[in-house]
Structure 1
Amino acid sequence: MKVVKKRLLTSAGQKDQVRSEKVIMSQTRSSLARVCRLYRTFKDSKYVYMLMEACLGGELWTLLRNRGCFEDASGRFYVACVLQALSYLHARGIIYRDVKPENVLLDARGYAKLVDFGFAKKIGVGKRRKAKADEMDKTWTFCGTPEYMAPEVILNKGHCPSADLWALGVFTFELLTGSPPFCGADAVQTYTAVLRGVDTLEFPGKVSLTAADLIRKLCRDEPTERLGALKNGEDIQKHRWFESFDWEGLEKGTLTPPIVPEVSSPTDTSNFDRFPLDSEEAPPHDDSGWDHDF
């Protein structure tokens, strides 16, 4: 259950954002989409509530933190899960805009699913097979996590679902090395590193040549030149790094995940970090009615 203070959303100007999140998640309920499912929403005078499926395997970020990095086989599985989720969303005209290990949960079997659709936006299916970026549906909202933001987002040139493919390249690098490729002491330095481009990166020896080639092809400066940009991920699946990968098994859910979490019951939350309860006083009432569709 995701519980959000209504007054906080109002003061932060995020009412439209949470309404959009609710609508998008309501439209992505396929059990094979590798997207966390939203079942129902509720509200009262203080909060809005989103009841979602329980992914009891924990955060992929926690698993990455504990292991340091993943070997090729494990990283390939999680990248494939996220690619499947992005392909599903992009085919429906939805751009996700926040790919990172913190937004990937594992279900009880060990399959990875995207969560947190606060930055997601429906922009239309667009002319995805056109060759020019200016012929694709775009959005201009400046949002995302700095280490994962594509150059066109930083430069406010307008972005399309191809921005998610850039982030997928960054995500792949982080899974295989333990840290994202573009980092700085603050957001400005991180943006500068992103704008220098992937060609300035030195890949650690632990990153295989085929994985490095995939990352470079996903992190091209020109959005339409990124692998998968014009074929909704089909050419990513055919890349050499995924040679012999069982895409059909992933689609059907018959592929054995590289790491199977220990989950003892439907209420076992031991795979998640523990945090203290919110000690703040109850928020004030908000009966303005903006949440009428919850």
Structure 2
Amino acid sequence: MVQQDQVEHVFNEKDIQINCNSNFIVRLYKTFQDSKYLYFLMESCLGGDLWTYLQKRKGRMVPEIHARFYAACVLEAIAYLHERNYIYRDLKPENLLIDARGYIKLTDFGFAKSLKTASKTYTFAGTPEYVAPEIIYNRGHDKSIDYWAFGILIFELLVGKSPFRTDDHTNMMTYNRILRGITSITFPPHVTKSATNLIKSLCRPLPTDRLGNQKNGIQDIRIQNFFQGFDWEKLRNQSMKPPFVPKLSGYTDTKYFEKFSEDDDIPPQDETTTFEGF
């Protein structure tokens, strides 16, 4: 971490996540350090991540009623962050964990940033197939990139892949598709008109035109036809039954996660470096 000049990056991640206390964001309780490592003590979400869950489903997608639930969880997390002037910048199924009750929680705050209202940041951040046009153009971006990524996420939940994905490992073809816009994408017939309209409204090329980035903010997203009849209060107090509830044998059941071999990349002992405030 020191060699790769990631110290400030990690402190930023820690400072934002430890200040978040939302039912839809993974809690960071405490941090520790020794002569080799920094440690994050975090809430466990034993249902695995949403990406792995989708891979096991037919077509790697979920029906609209399920997509609505997962999208609503994510929207609550984004709303919480934006109310506190944080932008997230890395929304994707891999960063959405499923807790023991089946609710979605946002994790991995490596790209999150504190950003004052009406300010912009210019760092290239995010996963290629989810980035907004203004990031590719390097014109500066704000919280509206999270609304763009939210639209991409809903498309992936309903279709089984993100709209701009290509097999180009350089990502240039992906970026070109993003710049051509969501109107160049053919939506499969099973995607309803209300879902299509929501996705297209979230993925408008100009940030100022994007749904969520208008006068009424995120409330404009909640009142869309896609969410018609959805009980937001029931979601917030977590009395709504999720589409999938993990079957866990106890608090240490990790069957919903891949097994990894032990990491043999051991950092050198460093008795001299300490990170104040960690």
Give the TM bin, normalised by the shorter chain: over 0.9
Of 224, 227, 239, 2:208 maps to: 224
Aligned residues: 273
Contact 2:35–2:273 under 8 Å retained in 1: no
SS of the counterpart of 1:40? strand
Structure 2 unaligned blocks of 5 or more: none
Contact 2:165–2:174 under 8 Å retained in 1: yes
In the alignment, structure 1 residue 262 sits paired with structure 2 residue 244: no
SS of the counterpart of 2:101? coil
Identity among equivalent positions (%) equals 48
In the alignment, structure 1 residue 140 sits paired with structure 2 residue 140: no
Shift of 1:269: 0.8
Contact 1:35–1:115 under 8 Å retained in 2: yes
Contact 1:91–1:232 under 8 Å retained in 2: no
- TM-score for both structures, normalised by structure 2: 0.95
1:180 aligned partner? 162
Which AA in structure 2 matches 1:272? Answer: F
Contact 1:140–1:156 under 8 Å retained in 2: yes
Q: Work out the CA distance in 1 between the residues paired with 2:258 and 2:193.
A: 35
Over 4 Å off, 4+ runs: none
> Which moves more between the two structures, 232-241 or 184-193?
184-193
1:85 aligned partner? 77
**Cα shift readout 1:265-291 (whole Å, capped 9, x = no counterpart):** 1111111111222133x2113455462
1:3 aligned partner? none
**Cα shift readout 1:10-42 (whole Å, capped 9, x = no counterpart):** 222211110000000111023x3x000001000
Contact 1:219–1:226 under 8 Å retained in 2: yes
Contact 1:72–1:176 under 8 Å retained in 2: yes
> Which moves more between the two structures, 269-278 or 82-91?
269-278
**Cα shift readout 1:86-133 (whole Å, capped 9, x = no counterpart):** 000001000000000000001000000000000000012x1xxxxxxx
Contact 1:87–1:232 under 8 Å retained in 2: no
In the alignment, structure 1 residue 251 sits paired with structure 2 residue 236: yes
Which AA in structure 2 matches 1:92? Answer: R
SS of the counterpart of 2:77? helix
Q: Work out the CA distance in 1 between the residues paired with 2:241 and 2:76.
A: 16
Contact 2:61–2:157 under 8 Å retained in 1: yes
Which AA in structure 2 matches 1:248? Answer: E
Q: Work out the CA distance in 2 between the residues paired with 1:16 and 1:269.
A: 31
Which AA in structure 1 matches 2:111? Answer: F
> Which moves more between the two structures, 270-279 or 44-53?
270-279
**Cα shift readout 1:238-278 (whole Å, capped 9, x = no counterpart):** 00000011111011111111111111211111111112221
In the alignment, structure 1 residue 94 sits paired with structure 2 residue 79: no
2:192 aligned partner? 208
Contact 1:89–1:95 under 8 Å retained in 2: yes
Shift of 1:206: 2.1
Q: Work out the CA distance in 2 between the residues paired with 1:258 and 1:240.
A: 20
In the alignment, structure 1 residue 285 sits paired with structure 2 residue 277: no
Of 106, 122, 127, 2:98 maps to: 106
Of 66, 71, 84, 1:74 maps to: 66
Of 1, 12, 30, 1:40 maps to: 30
Of 20, 24, 29, 2:21 maps to: 29
Q: Work out the CA distance in 1 between the residues paired with 2:128 and 2:142.
A: 17
Contact 1:39–1:52 under 8 Å retained in 2: yes
What root-mean-square deviation, in Å, do the aligned CA atoms of Structure 1 and Structure 2 show?
1.1
Contact 2:61–2:159 under 8 Å retained in 1: yes
1:157 aligned partner? 139
1:130 aligned partner? none
Q: Work out the CA distance in 1 between the residues paired with 2:106 and 2:239.
A: 19
Which AA in structure 2 matches 1:262? Answer: K
1:118 aligned partner? 110
Q: Work out the CA distance in 1 between the residues paired with 2:62 and 2:123.
A: 33
> Which moves more between the two structures, 111-120 or 246-255?
246-255
SS of the counterpart of 2:14? helix
Q: Work out the CA distance in 2 between the residues paired with 1:247 and 1:13.
A: 42
